[in-house]
Chain A
Amino acid sequence: MHPQLFRYAQGPYGGHEVLLGASFDLLIWFVLAAMAVIIFHAVYKSG
């Protein structure tokens, strides 16, 4: 599964797609990245 990076909408009058913003499907990846940093540091410090 490939998460979308951006959100788009159809332009007015059926024109080209217009960028709406970042895709919030990516939030989980930011959370996982933070958790990876935290777990790595906790393991390193406990060693």
Chain B
Amino acid sequence: MSDPHTSGKAVPRHDLIDRLYHWVMAAAVFILMGTAFLPKFGIKFEWLTAHWISGIVLGVIVVLHIFRAIIWQNFMAMVPDGKDIVGAWRTLVGAFADTRAPAKPGKYNVAQKFYHLGIAIVILTLMGTGGAMLFKIDTPFWKRNPYVLTDEQWGLIYTVHGFAAMGIVAMIMIHIYFALRPDEWHLTRTMFRGWMTRKEYESHHDTLRWVPDTEK
């Protein structure tokens, strides 16, 4: 059997550094969710240290990801554009009346783009409010100083953090559902091995809207 990398059948989709980012982020988010919610269900343990350390890890990799996306990657590949909106509308209408096949997406489809936008808003909200909460705990690196804000201001920050945390639980559930669907498995697999077959590329993507790096 020929090697898809050398036979021209492998289409690169996610670099190793992007896959590492995804899985480190996933680990951090699961630790954050577990340390946040398990104590609420009566599972008592010393959750705070794991929570704030995971939060800082998440914050650092998200900042690195933003720099990488802006400077080294095609930032616009993840931004919804006019073709995405028209395609989404055709899909919606086509579900009930239109028989035309919806247009193929570029590297990311419209649902992925809006999901990314939503999860970015939620994670940046959690980072901002969680970052402020670091003032309320002692760590080896700093002493707590809760007096930088009033009780009312802290209440607001905890409220926003709490709603965003519950929101991310729902978003992660939906993300995992789509990742496990057989018809999406060709995309999920690329987050493990980094590439898809040329057949998958040509059958699922508009080859004019997404030109892989090896073909530029």
Contact = CB atoms under 8 A, between A and B. Distances in A.
Interface residues on A, range: 20 to 34
Given A18-B151, A20-B158, A24-B40, A44 B169 contact: no
Interface of B: 37, 40, 95, 151-152, 155-156, 158-159, 161-163, 166-167, 169-171, 173-174, 177, 181, 183
A38 B177 contact: yes
Interface in A1-35: 6, 11, 18-24, 26-27, 30-31, 33-35
A21 B177 contact: no
Interface of A: 6, 11, 18-24, 26-27, 30-31, 33-35, 37-38, 41-42, 44-45
Contacts, number: 57
14 contacts: A18-B155, A19-B159, A20-B155, A21-B155, A21-B158, A21-B161, A22-B161, A24-B162, A26-B163, A30-B166, A30-B169, A37-B174, A38-B177, A45-B181
A35 B172 CA distance: 11
Contact of A27 (B37, B151, B152, B183): B37
